[in-house]
Amino acid sequence: MRAGFYAGNNRKQNDSYANDEGDGSWLPATNTLLALSSPASIKEHPIPKLMDEAEVKYRQKLAGQSKTLKAAVTEYSRRYKRDPPKGFDDWWKFAQKYGVQLVDDYDGLVADLEPFWELSGEEVRRRAVQVGELPSIDLVRIKDGKASTLKLNHGFDDSEVSARANGFRAMLGKFADTLPDMYFPINAKAEGRVLVPWEHRKYPNLTLQDSSAGVEVMLNGTFKPDWGSQGTVWDAWRRTCPPTSAARRVFASLRNSFTHQIKNYFSSSHIGAGSDFRFATTTSTTIDFCERPYKHYTQGHFFSDWRTIHVLYPVFSPARAKGFLDIKIPSHYYYGSTKRYTYGWDPVNLELKEVDNMEVPWQEKIDKIFWRGATTGGGSHPPGFSPQYQRHRFLRMVSDKSDTNRTVTFADPPSSDHYVSTPIPVSHLNKEIMDTAFVKAVSQESYPGGLKALMEAHRFGDSVPLGKHWSYKYLVDLDGMSYSGRFMSFLASDSVPIKATVYEEYFSDWIQPWVHFIPLSSSYREVYNIHAYFSGPTRSTLEAVNSTLLELSPQKRKSIEGDRRLRRIARAGKQWKKTIGRTIDMEDDLTIPPLPPPPRTRL
């Protein structure tokens, strides 16, 4: 049985957002960044406090989980203001049998399902089949206790080959025979698909409630797989914002303002003093694009080629960004085992090992920040905006060979409370602590200036096997076309993920930033100070202040406390993957809404 079938909680959305780009325009009531305006005057580094507070919060979450079925029922009712559905006791037995640790925390699941509880069971069932008629939507059918994959739309040749639907079907293997006959529409694409305008969500009378006339009537005509000349994701997305928001009041021009200035959108002219010393307390999922529409230029999912669906249809996707109404399911990359995405996978003997063959002992890992990947990050509709996609911005920053300064703050001497701040040319820092490169150019024709301009502005290198990552202490994890499929493998390793994302996944409620990974803002600027705290100052940093530490060996310059804390994150992430990020926990969380909606009767 599945907690996804029975459990969950309403997500409380915070309407106040911090500016994690450091452009000076702060909104009130922010709790997303820990900012210091004058790092030169600090008496205590903020990172230890971030870690300690995060660990307390996570330990409290674990300790507060229900210990009995009765307690779980009570907690469910308190969170949802509704009784658990029939079968909750069977799910509890499943959770106890397999040692599920987080039995109460399914916040994102209920938030995903709640909009559909306003519809009748018949209506949801009908929509589940109808949406499968659209391009790039596959169906997983449960019939007579057996699961199969169907493709209803044969007029569109999809390159994804139903991989996500087949992965979802595999996840149902243990309990397909317990399910009633039903359909699950699975998104064949990584990008989110369902964007319902704000008015249609707040005032249901504006939306056609009866889908019996068919999907074409619901969508006001023939649905085309891509945008063509009929709109953009951004134009569809901004309509999910309240009418009073900036995104609705100001229509963003489609003219590419970056075509003739290929530089980072978060340029130094927008940055105040001390912005390199602001540390995110969570990932970038809290960016409020409704109130700051200009920031949409910095995220590739707003430029996807694939058309979104503007009516509430149940579509299951591996991740969703704010504003989308897709229902989250575990990624097939996480559930299956492949040499490109799975830590410890032995492709020769076809077995999963606890320790990867290419793992490296901590003391032998390289003290650099590592990343390899393709130039994905968004689509090409409209073309010309790729310089500001998340991967391009990061690679351009860490490929910078100029004399542009970054302010680095470090303890001198190591493990002391005496901190020194100094500007350092970014070219020196990148050479000393970065090992990052694109390995493949995708859709280079959509980049202003083409492949030549793309390669001039970003470092390119050779492809490497996944196991090469384990040679480094720091592993950057960046969004691609959607979520990053490598995050679980990074957690399973003995290295530390540094993650920036605008997506929520099935496990987002279960994992704790600064305990299991290091969160990174979408400007990425603080990455140099993250490295300086955990690994100590670089040689160029010490030379800039004529530090006496230059007389010491590189090993003695390091902060013992910083390295100890970094290794603690690596160990915690690995332990999380072993105990909460297991495949059985993915099955436990499967978003399998009963059709009709969960009954409200007590046990």
pLDDT at residue 183, as a whole number: 94
Residues 439-451: tens digit of each pLDDT:
999 988 889 999 9
Q: Using omega within 30 degrees of 0 as the cis cutoff, is the peptide bond preceding 596 cis?
A: yes
DSSP sequence for 422-444: EEEEHHHHHHHHEEEEEEE--SG
Quickly count: other Cβ atoms within 10 Å of residue 468's Cβ: 14
Tell me if 325 sits within 8 A of 194, measured CB to CB. yes
Structure tokens at 264: 């980072």
Q: Does the pLDDT value for residue 557 go beyond 90?
A: no
What is the set of domains in the chain, with CATH numbers?
Answer: 350-405+424-537+554-585 (3.40.50)
Residues 66-81: tens digit of each pLDDT:
999 999 999 999 998 8
Instruction: For residue 378, give the nearest of 446, 292, 457 by alpha carbon.
Output: 446
Confidence of residue 549 (pLDDT cuts 50, 70, 90): confident
In the DSSP assignment, the letter for residue 410 is: E
Structure tokens at 568: 């603690």
Lowest-pLDDT range, 3-12, 114-123, 145-154? Answer: 3-12
Residues in CB range of 63: below 8 A, 6 or more apart: none
- Averaged over 566-577, what is the pLDDT? 98
559 vs 126 pLDDT, higher one: 126
pLDDT at residue 502, as a whole number: 94
Measure CA of the first residue to CA of the last residue in the chain; give whole Å. Answer: 16
Q: CA of 276: how far to CAs of 49, 51, 191, 368, 498, in Å? A: 18, 19, 31, 18, 16
pTM: 0.89
Burial (CB count within 10 angstroms: exposed 0-12, middle 13-18, buried 19+), residue 485: buried
Distance of CA 68 to the CA centre of its chain: 32
238 vs 288: CA distance, rounded Å: 11
- Averaged over 566-570, what is the pLDDT? 98
pLDDT at residue 31, as a whole number: 38
pLDDT at residue 251, as a whole number: 59
Residues 460-472: tens digit of each pLDDT:
999 999 999 999 9
Residues 534-543: tens digit of each pLDDT:
999 999 999 9
353 vs 366: CA distance, rounded Å: 23
Burial (CB count within 10 angstroms: exposed 0-12, middle 13-18, buried 19+), residue 525: buried
Helices (H) and strands (E) in the chain, counts: 21, 18
pLDDT at residue 4, as a whole number: 34
Structure tokens at 46: 């903020």
The mean pLDDT of the chain is 86
Residues in CB range of 42: below 8 A, 6 or more apart: 36, 409, 419
pLDDT at residue 291, as a whole number: 93
Of the CA atoms within 13 Å of residue 389, those in its CB half-sphere come to 33
348 vs 18 pLDDT, higher one: 348
